[in-house]
Structure 1
Amino acid sequence: MGRRVRVVYRKYDGALHWHQWMEWLGEDEYGVWLGGRVGEVSQRGDELTVVAEVAHVQLFPRGEWFTAIFNDAPRSTEIYCDVTTPVEFSDELVTMVDLDLDVIRKRDGSVLVDDEDEFAEHQVKYGYPAEVIAQAQASCDRLVVAVANDEPFQAVYKSYLDRVR
């Protein structure tokens, strides 16, 4: 395992959303991989704190409009993709803006889109520009197909997950 990296999701108005510390696992053609062990803590804003019950890894692609979390069994959500602005990287920080839409693959292989209502509401509340709306929707549409059929959503993530178990 490598160095500790701070992960910070914000909302479009700059408000702190989910944040946590993770361990650097490496980088490949899909992006930067960070790992979280059982018992590590993540927090939403200043309120909700969550303790990880399963090992998980997170993918931060370069130049893409999403991030992805891959959860170990027995968690029923195997893959959880957040549609976001492209990730910004520094040595000890990755940050992005959460754009509400989520693509989820359950352990039984079913794929669903979540928070479409929140995405519609926040377009008005935060004044998302037309380009941001279009990029977010296009990313969501691509992810629905990719999480069911393509790498790194099929096998690639498993070697990273093995490292944090």
Structure 2
Amino acid sequence: MSPAPGSNIRIESYKHDHSLHRIWDKSTLIHTSDAVVIGGNDRVKVTEADGREWRTREPAICTFGRGQWFNTIAMIRDDGIYYYCNIGSPFSMKGQLLSYIDYDLDVKVFPDMTYSILDEEEFLLHSKQMNYPPFVVERVQTALREVLDWVSARRGPFQNGFVQRWYERYLLVRDDEE
């Protein structure tokens, strides 16, 4: 059974070799369905694999599509919404823990919907070091194209009003909890 909206979940990402990559200490679950899990957080503690800790600087809406090989973090800043799209395995949810494998490639999308593809060298290095199977490499490349298609089509979290609507819901469920 999935946690109820308003409850806190922890998000953990791992590398292909199952080593820890990053932990988001606490995100508030806003919505869960057969298609998607949406969470929100603000100034949440993030712990890196090396133990370094830092806090996010702004509110964010995180979207995890079931079966998708990417997830999005929409960061709400004064000058617009910035997106960080992690290319990774479909997520798993067990109790209050959401986890996935991070496959290195990322897409940073700016408020004007231009974008940069990040960490291509890291993907190539890790695919050799960790011996990514051909189907994983193929899924990662397909997911990258899918993210870029979604950005171009303003689909899913990139559609006008999506982030604002879920941020308002986040404020309501978060306030109910405090």
Q: TM-score, normalised by structure 2?
A: 0.84
Larger radius of gyration: 2
Is residue 147 of structure 1 aligned with residue 144 of structure 2?
no
Residues 17 and 43 from structure 1, CA distance in 2 versus in 1: closer, same or farther, beyond 3 angstroms?
same
Counterpart contact for 1:9–1:95, Cα < 8 Å = yes
Is residue 35 of structure 1 aligned with residue 40 of structure 2?
yes
Structure 1: runs of 5 or more not aligned = none
Give the C-alpha shift of residue 6 in structure 1: 1.1
Please list the CA deviations of residues 89-111 of structure 1 after superposition, one character each: whole Å capped at 9, or x if unmatched.
Answer: 12211111000111111123211
Higher deviation after alignment, 152-161 or 99-108:
152-161
Structure 2: runs of 5 or more not aligned = 172-178
Of 5, 10, 15, the match for 1:11: 15
Distance 1:19 1:103 in 2: 19
Give the C-alpha shift of residue 40 in structure 1: 1.8
Give the C-alpha shift of residue 76 in structure 1: 7.0
Matches within 5 A, 1:1-165: 2-20=6-24, 21-28=26-33, 30-37=35-42, 39-74=43-78, 78-149=82-153, 150-154=155-159, 155-164=161-170
Deviating 4+ runs (over 4 angstroms): none
Give the C-alpha shift of residue 81 in structure 1: 0.6
Q: TM-score, normalised by structure 1?
A: 0.91
Equivalent position SS for 2:157: coil
Distance 2:18 2:79 in 1: 31
Higher deviation after alignment, 51-60 or 147-156:
147-156
Please list the CA deviations of residues 14-49 of structure 1 after superposition, one character each: whole Å capped at 9, or x if unmatched.
Answer: 111111221111125751001102x32111114332
Q: How many residue pairs end up in the alignment?
A: 164
> Identity, % of aligned pairs?
24
